[in-house]
Amino acid sequence: MFDSITSLSDFFFDPDRLSFAILAMLLCMVVGMITGPLANNVNPLSWIVFDMVFGRIGSRLDRSTRMTADLVLRGMILTFVSLFLIYVLGLQMIKLVAAQPFYGMTEVILLSLTMTGGSVWYSLLKLYFALDKNAVSKGTYLTIARSTRNDLNTSDNFGVTRVGMGMSALVISRGLIGPVLWYFIAGLPGAYIYALLAMLSWRFGKEGFTKGFGRLPLALERLLGFVPDMLAGTLISMAGLFTPTGTMTKALLAQMFGSKQAKYDQGGKGITALAFALKVSLGGPISDLDGSVIKRDWIGPDGATAKLEAGHLKRAIYINFVTYILFMASLVSAILWSGILPG
């Protein structure tokens, strides 16, 4: 039995992959804070590249005037074709890493392209300073609008802050835990396949309100993102314990028994945990960049305020940072644990 546990440990807690994941996270943290978000988008760089290729093709196929069945079929074709191409790309990456390892840095850099980190803090701090000075302009929330695909031109400061806080929770599962987990399971191809599905869901899923084109990528991403979503909710709840005015217990209970949980497509357990940890109301209807109305639910404790200000955003940034550190600490612990187990 102990041999079985050891084999399972070796499968999920490969010290090399754990080390590469930690280095990739550190790279995302440092580079993101220095350069800021590329193309005004805090999502992983792989998403931006995938969107330039598959997003542009998909936008030509996803027309609201078409029948639902037609849109579903077109979405399936794009999804399967793009998955095949990214799988082939992933196999080529394995060959590249084997031929040109550069002391492991090739794999670290390639993995970091599926993740995000410092650019999230960069964009949210920019919004925080603008809110604190009551000087919010389009330039201060442009990155958040593009990263969430939410139209913030008609939103007030409260609405912009809610979207920014929601983004801070969502990127934990989609832009951090998800790619790392699938990297552990299937190497670089696994990380890139997850990143592709997350991008397609972000681009065409409309948070579950797609007419049909985004149904398949949403379903597949929901399947692959089930465990990352749970881990994100747990870590964000734990981060609430270290945050001024935050709470952990209510955030955990809300995910298990609460009636006001966010649906997976609308942020899942991460946004639920953040709302209950900070005792605020997140979500609410909004329009996306394509002009579609996204009728999101309101998430948070009864009586919680939705009029969120700079102070709320500051605590959300803090929770995001602490969650990042907690996840990194869990990987370091896994390295130590895998070293203790006999080979």
Domain chopping of the chain, boundaries: 12-340
pTM: 0.94
Query: Which of 76-89 are b and which e, b meaning 16 or more Cβ less than 10 Å from the residue's Cβ?
Result: eebbeebbeebbee
Does residue 10 carry a pLDDT above 70? no
Q: What is the pLDDT of residues 40-71, one digit of tens each?
A: 999 999 999 999 999 999 999 998 788 999 99
Q: What is the pLDDT of residue 342?
A: 44
> Whole-angstrom Cα distance, residue 318 to residue 321?
5
Mean pLDDT within 90-96 = 96
Q: Would you tell me how many other CB atoms lie within 10 Å of the CB of residue 259?
A: 6
DSSP H or E stretch at residue 103 = none
Query: What's the angle, vertex CA 285, arms to CA 48 and CA 125, rounded to 5?
Result: 50
Alpha-carbon Rg for the chain, nearest whole angstrom, is 20
Q: Is 295 left (phi over 0), alpha (psi -120 to 50) or beta?
A: beta
Q: What is the pLDDT of residue 244?
A: 85
Does residue 195 carry a pLDDT above 80? yes
> Whole-angstrom Cα distance, residue 88 to residue 309?
46
Q: What is the pLDDT of residue 8?
A: 45
Round the average pLDDT of the chain to a whole number and report it.
92
Mean pLDDT within 176-186 = 97
Q: What is the pLDDT of residue 1?
A: 41
Q: What is the pLDDT of residue 340?
A: 52
Mean pLDDT within 90-113 = 96
Cα–chain-centroid distance for residue 257?
24
Does residue 37 carry a pLDDT above 50? yes
Q: At residue 283, what are phi and psi to the nearest 5 degrees?
A: 90, -145
Contact 147, 123 (CB under 8 A): yes
Does residue 32 carry a pLDDT above 80? yes
| Bridge partners for 26 per DSSP | none
Tell me which residue of 321, 322, 310, 317 sits closest to 128, measured CA to CA: 310
Percentage of the chain beyond pLDDT 90 is 84
Q: At residue 214, what are phi and psi to the nearest 5 degrees?
A: -95, 10
Q: What is the pLDDT of residues 275-285, one digit of tens each?
A: 999 999 999 99
Q: What is the pLDDT of residues 216-274, one digit of tens each?
A: 999 999 999 999 999 999 999 999 999 888 889 999 999 888 778 899 999 999 999 99
Q: What is the pLDDT of residue 2?
A: 42
Least confident segment among 32-36, 106-110, 287-291, 338-342? 338-342
> Whole-angstrom Cα distance, residue 25 to residue 145?
24
Tell me 175's DSSP state.
Answer: I
Contact 214, 201 (CB under 8 A): yes
Residue with tokens 């991460």: 270
Mean pLDDT within 76-105 = 96
Q: What is the pLDDT of residues 288-334, one digit of tens each?
A: 998 889 999 999 999 999 999 999 999 999 999 999 999 999 999 98
